[in-house]
Amino acid sequence: MIKAYQKDEELFQDILKTKNNHSGLRVWWLGQSGFLVQWNGIHVLFDPYLSDSLTKKYENTEKPHVRMSEKAIDPEKLDFIDVVTSSHYHTDHLDAETLKPILRQKKDIKFIIPEANRSFVSERVDCAPNFALGMTDGTEISFSEEVKITALASAHNELEKDEFGNNKFLGFILNIGPYTLYHSGDTLWYEGLEEKVKAFAPDVLFLPINGNRPERMVAGNMSAEEAAKFGKVVNSGIVIPHHFHMFEFNTEDPDSFAKYAQVHHTKYQILKIGQSFKLD
């Protein structure tokens, strides 16, 4: 089991100590594709997976989800979240055991989902059908003058849509204060994605690195090399990789990503679970 950089109460206190800082932005990696963003007392949580639900679900099957890393924090403690996202309907991005405790903690929490997944989401997390805020490619939601989310289509593996033309897989551009971040969700590098992202000039890009291998029997993502190349093509911010060190059958060595990032002269930062990254 890979040890967290910090977890539980230590991680909680690390988050709280800068909760009301008026300068700089902090990001914590919570494992898999989960990132907590903190700026000026505002907290945005991308795609958290903070349980063992998949390990339990797939135990004694042909596709066991053996956990590699320690859990970062009990979702019950995350009672200060303002916005939480689910980029698509796969359980490591839409986990009832994680989201239910978070969603009931704060009455005015905003829950961002693909509009195409509304019925599925409502059933899984037991929320009212109109509770979540649905998005599709190109739509925007502003929460204040300082916080806005724009949805970009993701391909996992296809640019799949429902019968109304709403994308089932999304990534998100977060404008928060003076900073811009791109969270890819799960995606391949499809034609035109780099131009969409480049137009926003993100300061940080959260990109998957576990690759696309059919023998794993799950939808794929960018590889370590593709994520490094993508960051270089966008060429505006630092790449923080995700989607590794959660399940043994579907991971990548982050050192491989680091090697490719160095080859392509891509700015990057690899985080351990519970570790933070700061932008001044």
As a whole number, mean pLDDT of residues 45-62 equals 95
| 2 found inside a domain | no
| 275 found inside a domain | yes
Strands 147-153 and 140-142: antiparallel
Range of the domain at 88: 8-279
Residues 6+ apart with CB under 8 A from 182: 152, 171, 172, 173, 174, 197, 200, 202, 204, 205, 206, 237
Tens digit of each residue's pLDDT (9 = 90 or more) over 217-251: 898 999 999 999 999 999 999 999 999 999 998 99
Strands 170-176 and 179-183: antiparallel
Stated pTM of the model: 0.97
Tens digit of each residue's pLDDT (9 = 90 or more) over 95-113: 999 999 999 989 899 999 9
pLDDT interval class at 215 (50, 70, 90): confident
Tens digit of each residue's pLDDT (9 = 90 or more) over 147-206: 999 999 999 999 999 999 999 999 999 999 999 999 999 999 999 999 999 999 999 999
| 201 found inside a domain | yes
| 3 found inside a domain | no
| 1 found inside a domain | no
pLDDT of residue 2: 97
Residue 274 has pLDDT above 90, yes or no: yes
| 64 found inside a domain | yes
pLDDT of residue 169: 98
Please give the tally of structural domains in the chain.
1
Encoding tokens for residue 122?
Answer: 């409502």
pLDDT of residue 217: 86
CATH number at residue 85: 3.60.15.10
For Cα atoms 83, 89, 94, give the angle at the middle one, nearest 5 degrees.
45
Residue 90 has pLDDT above 90, yes or no: yes
As a whole number, mean pLDDT of residues 115-144 equals 97
How many angstroms separate the CA atoms of 249 and 66, rounded? 8
How many angstroms separate the CA atoms of 212 and 221, rounded? 5
Tokens 């539980």 locate to 8
Residues 6+ apart with CB under 8 A from 89: 114, 117, 120, 121, 124, 168
- Residue 273 CB: number of other CB atoms within 10 A? 24
